[in-house]
Structure 1
């Protein structure tokens, strides 16, 4: 039987500081089916894992990621904002996360969101693809973005890559991006789920974000949606066992 996959949003974001190795380690520990993370480029062209365009919300620093070198970013405390006991947490590079997954024998799906809808980082698509390439024999990678040009570029660079369109508003559920490039997954916000075509008619996987409340999890599980992206993977896995028996 097909079952709903549980994807840990920015790691176990509800229980650890988001997008840190500590959060990804927790997602692995509870046996999440997948892990979602966000990437930007530092001033010196390193692919770093953080959600916002600035470091202000989730670190001890201030400023745009694009204006800071990797060394400067590594000096920031990326955990104390969540809980002082995580004061050693740092902004990881994508390479560090890939190594962590490989070292822990992860065989699920890694969803890399390229955050190019505000700044179009030069050559970020090439860099992300090159970093992920050596790991594709061990686990699968889905590349998602709100930015159509990024997804088109991913496909142009590596045709066999799986791309997924992120959207948070009704009417944005495109099936293709033009130039003959088909969308291979929809990543909608939970609040617009009801506005989408019937699930059984959707020819591409639905991976819904961010599913945290009990009632939201129940909706996804009872409709047997492909995946739910959640800040609480352990909680979601427990609920799946109750509803889907897996």
Structure 2
């Protein structure tokens, strides 16, 4: 009788402790907290097959089995969220100079496909809203805020955009946000705690830094060259999921799949196991 009473008390204490650990993290679409591992994430769509961050690239990623589309965002001169990787236009478009010096309408005039191959000459820089509308019923999204220090208020702008979709009957796939800038992710988490956020890293990280990130982040995303089982365990001990980028080698892909990381980002979604 006494033992049973103490067991009940112990279970209550453990339950309350678990709530405390998870209270500051996202609870949006909890079914993805227990989904199979790893998520198949198409880097900039299927950047190994198509011009990155274009509608063609995202369509190809889905054809090749991607479950989540990785999307890079910036703000245009007129404060519209646009999908592009670099802060400048020169590498992947017919435009020149800084993206933030152009309005969204001006950016739409540039060719964003011919640099990759002439058959993509009609590709344009998409708006984030266009990507959502086009693919929201087919895939989840992993949104990277690029260079947030260049765009004061971009976190609030993204939260405003996401509120149009989250909770709608036609948007049941996961939405996650990450950045190399941990402060940006902390700001976004305060604005929209129901959305899972993560931090990208490309260098070793100590436990004190992990502890601080775990206060607001649901996942950490180390570069694949620094991720091993020891780092994976350290991240998991702080209650975060483990993603990795950008895995374009089939042998390493199999290794991370065996490690059961939570998500793998690749330019080649066709490299994932069935």
Equivalent position SS for 2:133? helix
Equivalent pair of 2:189/2:216 in contact (CA under 8 Å): no
Residue 223, structure 1, aligned to residue 259, structure 2: yes
- String of CA shifts for 1:174-209, please: whole Å, max 9, x gaps: 33447x933210111000002614379443211100
Radius of gyration: which is bigger?
A: 2
Q: Residue in 1 aligned with 2:233?
A: 198
Q: How far apart, in 2, do the equivalents of 1:45 and 1:87 lie?
A: 26
Where does 1:78-93 land on structure 2 (aligned, <5 Å)?
Answer: 78-93=112-127
Q: How far apart, in 2, do the equivalents of 1:155 and 1:227 lie?
A: 20
How far residue 28 of structure 1 moved from its aligned partner, in angstroms, is 2.0
Q: Residue in 1 aligned with 2:145?
A: 114
Select the structure that is richer in helix.
2
Q: How far apart, in 1, do the equivalents of 2:264 and 2:38 lie?
A: 7
TM-score (norm 1): 0.88
Q: Residue in 1 aligned with 2:25?
A: none
Equivalent pair of 2:232/2:242 in contact (CA under 8 Å): no
Equivalent position SS for 1:37? strand
List, as ranges, runs of 4+ consecutive aligned residues in structure 1 with deviation greater than 6 Å. none
Q: How far apart, in 2, do the equivalents of 1:131 and 1:172 lie?
A: 34
Q: Residue in 1 aligned with 2:205?
A: 171
Q: How far apart, in 2, do the equivalents of 1:127 and 1:176 lie?
A: 28
Corresponding residue pairs, total: 233
Q: How far apart, in 1, do the equivalents of 2:39 and 2:268 lie?
A: 13
Q: Residue in 2 aligned with 1:21?
A: 55
Equivalent position SS for 1:196? helix
- String of CA shifts for 1:119-141, please: whole Å, max 9, x gaps: 33122111111212232232221
CA pair 166-61 structure 1, distance change in 2 beyond 3 A:
same
CA pair 177-46 structure 1, distance change in 2 beyond 3 A:
farther
Where does 1:229-244 land on structure 2 (aligned, <5 Å)?
Answer: 229-236=265-272, 240-241=273-274
Q: Residue in 1 aligned with 2:38?
A: 4
Residue 213, structure 1, aligned to residue 249, structure 2: yes
Where does 1:59-78 land on structure 2 (aligned, <5 Å)?
Answer: 59-78=93-112
Q: Residue in 1 aligned with 2:8?
A: none
How far residue 149 of structure 1 moved from its aligned partner, in angstroms, is 1.9
Q: How far apart, in 1, do the equivalents of 2:61 and 2:260 lie?
A: 22
TM-score (norm 2): 0.79
Q: How far apart, in 2, do the equivalents of 1:126 and 1:11 lie?
A: 25
RMSD: 2.0
Q: How far apart, in 2, do the equivalents of 1:16 and 1:98 lie?
A: 19
Which segments of 5 or more consecutive residues in structure 2 lack a partner in the other structure? 1-34
